[in-house]
Amino acid sequence: MSAANAELGHALRELMQREGPIPFARFMKEALYHPAHGYYSSGRCAIGRRGDYFTSVSVGPLFGRMLAAQFAEIWEMLDRPNEFTIVEQGAHDGAFAADVLEALQTRAPECFAAARYRIVEPFPVLRLRQEETLRAFADKVDWLAEVEPFCGVYFANELLDALPVHLVIAKASEWHERFVGLGDGGFVFTDQPVANERLRERLTKIPSPEGPYETEINLAALDWLETLAPKLQRGVILVADYGLARADYYAPARTTGTLQSYSEQRVLPSPLENAGSADLTAHVEWTSLAERAVECGLTIAGFTDQHHFLTGLLAGNPALAAAENSRALQTLLHPEFMGTKFQFLGLAKDFTGSLGGFRFARDHRSTLDF
């Protein structure tokens, strides 16, 4: 066990000794975002082929270049404003931002001139990495602790899957919430009747299971959207992540949920293992997110998998399919790699027209079933 891992373990044990067992969502929040020892907040998160997990940004600059084409199209559809804000949350080391700004500077100079890139980053260690990566664009980038009102586009890649989730388990057809407490060998699960009213309300949307069943409820994602929606004055929110529509997410056959813990490209046996040194992640349940977006005054601009989204962008920007990009394209588009694993959800306010990325998308109402 690393020193940082041991320090987080000690902090969690002290917390449980004071308060007793804590909801898994609290455990996950501390494991990932504890101010000093969390997996993300401490900067120990490792992404890429030699890291704990792999993202579309890890493939190389092509992903950023393709999204830059989508951002430039949004700028055009907003009637080319003189001030165009690109907000990114979950920017890791800043590589995506650098790829986007470089592509705009080269391929869409007028959009680049109007653009201001704002990174929402509460953790100093990650901001320092981003500043180093983005040194060439220092006059274009600002850092924020939270999203401020903006006109333009908000983008998040693999942010929502790392928000803390509540674990629930059905016992004799009755729901219980999973808590984490102290056992002889370390942290252990302990189950309690569901007391959280918001959690109880969300459970009414899930069919009652007939046998043993465990799954996740992501209240934090709904809170994130409720906070973000009023900040968008005009433009688009674009979210890329891996997930499922509600009917598939809570299908009767999916009896063990989607929660996993990753370290060095492998799945750990338990999400309670290596807290602070491993990534904890759960799939996004897209239907509830889309429903909450509409409740918050947003419209659905589109929903599709990464294969169809990026293919839509290629149709409008054929130069991106150059021969030197062929290997990266195969990784990003192929169904056996990332093509169908990831999805894109577009949300809009005071914005008309169809985004190129959703050119080949099916109707979102049938796909999301709401």
pLDDT digits (tens, 9 = 90+) for 111-156: 999 999 999 999 999 999 999 999 999 999 999 999 999 999 999 9
Average pLDDT over residues 274-296: 96
Q: Please identify which residue in the block is written with the tokens 């750990």.
A: 268
Residue 260 in 3-state DSSP?
Answer: strand
Residue 107 in 3-state DSSP?
Answer: helix
Nearest to 349 by CA among 301, 281, 298: 298
DSSP 299: E
Q: Is pLDDT of 369 > 70? A: yes
171 falls in which pLDDT band (50, 70, 90)? confident
Q: Are 27 and 275 in contact (CB under 8 A)?
A: yes
The span from the CA of 103 to the CA of 105, in Å, is: 5
Q: Please identify which residue in the block is written with the tokens 């062929």.
A: 326
Phi, psi of 34 (to 5 degrees): -50, 135
- Strands 232-241, 343-349: pairing kind: antiparallel
Query: Most distant CA pair in the chain: distance in Å?
Result: 63
Residue 239 in 3-state DSSP?
Answer: strand
Sign, CA torsion 225/365/369/306 = negative
Average pLDDT over residues 194-200: 97
The span from the CA of 247 to the CA of 287, in Å, is: 9
